[in-house]
Structure 1
Amino acid sequence: MYHRYVIILWLTGLLFSAFSYAGQTVVLVHGYLADESDWRFSGIVPALQVWGWQDGGNWFPQAPPPPILPYQSKRYVYTVTLPSEAPLSVQAQWLEFYLQRIKHRHPNNDLILVGHSAGGVVARLVMVSSNIPVQGLITIASPHLGTDKAEVGTQLSNSPLSWIAPFLGLDTINRSEGLYWDLVREYPATPLFWLNRQPHPENAFYASIVRVSDDQWVPPYSQDMNNVPALQGKSLTITTGGTHSLHPADGPLLGSLLDRLLTKPNNRLKKE
């Protein structure tokens, strides 16, 4: 009887230990012509630290992973560096690579993806196409239904301008040709048309931060995941002002939104 009691206490201790270190890991995914520094210089990562998220560092290609922090935390935030001019599928492969290693580092933590602009679409593609479990997705000014600016880019990359673009310092037009096609306004045979009709994880939460004014790159309707056929009625929508880029105000907003989604799940679909 004594030994059985000791075994029960030992198992209980293991379960309690696992529960104690279970938490969430937020991964911030940047957009087109950006990198991880956008999340830091805009003040978003420091703002999340105020809300209790420990900065775990940045993951980027051909470099060692960020150092493991000397103490445990229930909540971590990481940034990643993606080839932002590459097609969505290539960026998704890199993001999946990072997520596998982040999940290995914090196996008991649930993953939450936060994407800005095209990064939000990349994150959603990973949720649809990979086997990595993701607890939730928050997107900021993301072109879920495409943007006419991508169509302009496609036209330019297929015009005589593409021949002289390198001499004008505009070679990004040629390097981004595949991405432009991925982000044109959806219609049958486009990548977004396919993605927007694929089954998305049912148990995940979704939140769309929508710029309703001054965003010259992505129209508000395209930023709202409720307009994605596969996600109708499943996304919390938060409307904000400001331009397309990340802003310091996004930090406190994101911190409070994460707190709300993780502590008050019954309020996830109330529009703000």
Structure 2
Amino acid sequence: MKNWRLRWWLVLCCALGLVFAGPASAGRILVLVHGYLGNSASWQQSGVLPVLEQAGWQLAGNWQSTRSGVRWEPVEPPAGEFAIDTVDLPATAPLMEQARLLGGMLAAIAQQHPTDTVDLIGHSAGGVVARLALVNYGAGTVTRLITIAAPHLGTERAWEALDATDDTGLFGGIKRWLVKREVGDDLYRTLQSSRGVLADLAPPRPGNLLYWLNARQHPDIAYVAVVRGGAYGMPGDQVVPAPSQDLRRVPALNGRASIRVVAGGHELSRQDGLLLSELVSRPANTTVPK
């Protein structure tokens, strides 16, 4: 009789433990979104990913876009509480298409990891794609957006590329020959196939994408912009002007965003990994010092 009562008591205690234990502690995920003409390898090649891994984050895998939707490719061993997901988007596609795919990836992450929070990090055009996905599809489990050298107010380089590859008109053939001679056939073809995304990255004007996006209501999350500035004789970002990278200048985010100004050019570098390690170590609602 005593053994039966003891076993019954142990079963009851185990059952109560399962009821009151609650879910495991929530983890965190960094989702890294590459920029124009980049891919998931950009974070590794630039040194950003190795620095984040040294800080305790672990690459979990990569999201890819396919004709049938999005596909997850995990790495081994499985990541722990602090995970990194990279993505591969069609970098020459219009931003709406890239944002649609990213939105699907974020929804899948939320479904797979409903208790984990996401820091969404986008470099260059990837920062605009990330913001567009949040506006169109909601934040879900994303608690913070960090953009690096992103053209939130556009860049005149996009206009220049569109003009250079406009081979219509009476002298279009001659212009095409001259531009190809200057930049090479491969780059010319790439720019030609990118005209949709280049138009999306042009400075805001009534009727274009950035004009529409910058007036849309944004989710109630934290917004941080890493802005490239010039220092010590360095010219700063020659692709996207520093004011365009400043999320505080986006009308819909007036008073809701913070920035960190750092010296450097447009491309990713190991220093971005160090800065991201610092930024993501802070709670999402923490004010970022300039």
Query: TM-score, normalised on structure 2?
Result: 0.83
Larger radius of gyration: 2
Which of 156, 164, 167 aligns to 1:156? It is 164
Match of 1:145 in 2: 153
8 Å Cα contact 2:238/2:266 also seen in 1: yes
- What is the rounded CA distance, in whole Å, between the counterparts of 1:50 and 1:72 in structure 2? 14
Show the counterpart of 1:210: 227
- Is the aligned partner of 1:12 residue 2:20? yes
**Structure 1 residues 23 and 158, CA gap change in structure 2 (3 angstroms):** same
User: Counterpart of 1:58 in structure 2: which amino acid?
Assistant: N
Q: Deviations over 1:129-152 (max 9, x none)?
A: 014512110000000010111111
Greater CA drift, 70-79 or 41-50 = 70-79
Report SS of the residue matched to 1:252.
helix
Q: For 1:120 and 1:247, how far apart are their aligned partners in 2?
A: 16
Question: 1:175 maps to what in 2?
Answer: 193
CA deviation map 1:230-251 (0-9, x unaligned): 1112112100111100011110
Runs of 4+ deviating beyond 4 Å: 2-8, 68-72, 161-167
Gaps of 5+ in 2: 1-8, 231-235
> What is the CA deviation profile of residues 55-109 of structure 1, one whole-angstrom value per residue up to 9, with x for unaligned ones?
1122223496223655562221111111111110111122122223333332221
Residue of 187, 190, 194 corresponding to 2:208:
190
Instruction: State the aligned residue count.
Output: 262
Matched, 1:235 2:257: yes
Identity of aligned residues (%): 37
Which residue is equivalent to 2:217? 199
Structural mapping, 1:59-208, within 5 Å: 59-62=63-66, 65-67=72-74, 69-70=76-77, 73-133=80-140, 134-159=142-167, 160=172, 164=177, 168-169=185-186, 170-202=188-220, 204-208=221-225
Question: Could you say what the CA RMSD is over the residues aligned between the two structures, in angstroms?
Answer: 2.3
Preserved contact between residue 100 and residue 132 of structure 1 (Cα < 8 Å): no
The partner residue of 2:267 within 218, 242, 245 is: 245
Q: Is the 8 A contact 1:87 1:178 kept in 2?
A: yes
Distance in structure 2 (CA, Å) of the matches to 1:44 and 1:227 = 27
- Structure 2 residue matching 1:119: 3-state secondary structure: helix
Within 2, Cα distance between the matches of 1:113 and 1:252? 16
Shift of 1:46: 1.5
Query: Which has the larger displacement, 161-170 or 206-215?
Result: 161-170
Given that 1:25 and 1:111 are in contact with CA atoms closer than 8 Å, whether structure 2 keeps it comes out as yes
Secondary structure in structure 2 of the residue aligned to 1:95: helix
* Matches of 1:72 and 1:116, distance apart in 2: 23
AA aligned opposite 1:80 = V
After superposition, where does 1:256-267 map in structure 2 within 5 Å? 256-262=278-284, 265=285, 267=286
Residue segments in structure 1 that go unaligned for 5+ positions in a row: none
Distance 1:48 1:80 in 2: 16
Q: Structure 1's 4 and 188: CA in aligned 2 closer, same or farther, altered over 3 A? A: farther
